[in-house]
């Protein structure tokens, strides 16, 4: 998602005009970005020109892959939103978190990935520098905003599951729909601010992301660890009280399924975002290339297509609602 990396990578087949304008953009924007110490064209392109070319077929392959993922993310999350509207077994505040996550994934499929494909294919489309620059900025702002909301919402869901276990009967009085709406509003406020800052102060945005991502991961790990030990403790108590019974209380069994569902969503997010985070760290230290960036960015967008699969796989009510919706559409 690095603006200047995009220019360096996608520029080999652009017209000669890019060579002139890129230097002007570098002089203007470099002092406020992670490239603040770079002052010349040679520092950015390494050889002073745009001769480095990506591997043959890489652009075509990843553009086709992202088009497919854009379609699956859009269709899958649209079905999930319809299904969540029909499902009544999920606690409304928890359902609102899932809706928020589905909306961000849907937006990635509808807006971010088409812009990403446009950037990948820009050498073939022969776009002007101004158009390329604006598309890259819009893609970055939207991408950072939506991904930020996804990360924060996934973390909030893990906290929600922990509170459901610790608070017991008080959970429905503490975790209300109104409070969850306020939390989600602040998630969007933080993420929109981060997306806006990304285009003007990349260094600040990267520092914020490098704090937000590990903090979210630590909170999620803490929640699931606490849930694991709490469930283990309760299971021991149940075993002692009901020594002659093999059944687990219905509510506890349902809770375990919900935790399992959320955990799989969280693991998918970590698996998709971790390579990009590593690529950012390497890039800041001067290590990186085109293939690494395009692969890691595609993995981030892949998460938007994986989440609907996780919902259908792990949440029976959602799976049944999706099936019913598809049957209605076929009629």
Distance CA 57, CA 76 (A): 28
Evaluate if residue 198 carries a pLDDT over 50: yes
- Tens of pLDDT, residues 81-140: 999 999 988 999 999 999 999 999 999 999 999 999 998 888 777 778 888 889 999 999
Q: What is the pLDDT of residue 314?
A: 87
257 neighbors 314 (Cβ within 8 angstroms): yes
Task: Report, as an integer, the average pLDDT of 175-188.
Answer: 96
Domains and CATH numbers, the chain: 61-330 (1.20.1070.10)
Residue 41 is predicted with a pLDDT of 31
Q: What is the 3-state secondary structure (H, E, C) of the chain?
A: CCHHHHHHHHHHHCCCHHHHHHHHHHHHHHHHCCCCCCCCHHHHHCCCCCCCCCCCCHHHHHHHHHHHHHHHHHHHHHHHHHHHHHCCCCCHHHHHHHHHHHHHHHHHHHHHHHHHHHHHCHHHHCCCHHHHHHHHHHHHHHHHHHHHHHHHHHHHHHHHHHHHHHHHHHHHHHCCHHHHHHHHHHHHHHHHHHHHHHCCCHHHHHHHHHHHHHHHHHHHHHHHHHHHHHHHHHHHHHHHHCCCCCCCCHHHHHHHHHHHHHHHHHHHHHHHHHHHHHHHHHHHCCCCCHHHHHHHHHHHHHHHHHHHHHHHHHCHHHHHHHHHHHHHHHC
Residue 241 has pLDDT above 70, yes or no: no
Q: What is the pLDDT of residues 83-95, one digit of tens each?
A: 999 998 899 999 9
State the pTM of this model. 0.80
Q: What is the mean pLDDT of the chain?
A: 80
């Amino acid at each position: 998602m690095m603006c200047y990396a995009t220019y360096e990578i996608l520029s080999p087949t652009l017209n000669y005009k890019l060579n002139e304008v890129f230097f002007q953009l570098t002089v203007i924007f470099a002092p406020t970005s992670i490239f603040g110490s770079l002052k010349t064209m040679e520092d950015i392109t390494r050889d002073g020109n745009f001769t480095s070319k990506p591997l043959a077929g890489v652009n075509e392959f990843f553009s086709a892959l992202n088009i497919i993922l854009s379609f699956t993310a859009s269709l899958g999350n649209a079905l999930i939103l319809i299904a969540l509207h029909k499902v009544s077994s999920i606690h409304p505040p928890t359902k609102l978190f899932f809706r928020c996550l589905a909306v961000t994934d849907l937006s990635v499929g509808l807006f971010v990935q088409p812009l990403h494909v446009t950037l990948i294919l820009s050498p073939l489309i022969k776009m002007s520098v101004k158009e390329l620059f604006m598309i890259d900025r819009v893609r970055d702002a939207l991408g950072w905003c939506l991904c930020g909301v996804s990360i924060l919402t996934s973390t909030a869901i893990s906290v929600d599951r922990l509170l459901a276990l610790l608070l017991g009967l008080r959970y429905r009085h503490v975790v209300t729909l109104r409070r969850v709406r306020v939390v989600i509003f602040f998630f969007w406020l933080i993420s929109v601010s981060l997306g806006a800052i990304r285009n003007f102060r990349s260094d600040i945005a990267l520092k914020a992301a490098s704090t937000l991502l590990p903090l979210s991961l630590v909170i999620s790990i803490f929640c699931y660890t606490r849930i694991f030990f709490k469930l283990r403790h309760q299971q021991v108590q149940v075993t002692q009280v009901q020594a002659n019974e093999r059944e687990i209380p219905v509510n506890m069994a349902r809770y375990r399924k919900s935790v399992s569902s959320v955990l799989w969503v969280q693991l998918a997010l970590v698996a998709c975002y971790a390579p990009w985070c590593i690529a950012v760290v390497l890039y800041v230290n001067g290590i990186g290339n085109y293939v690494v960036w395009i692969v890691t960015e595609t993995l981030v967008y892949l998460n938007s297509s994986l989440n609907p699969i996780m919902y259908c796989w792990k949440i029976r009510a959602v799976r049944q609602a999706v099936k019913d919706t598809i049957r209605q559409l076929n009629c």
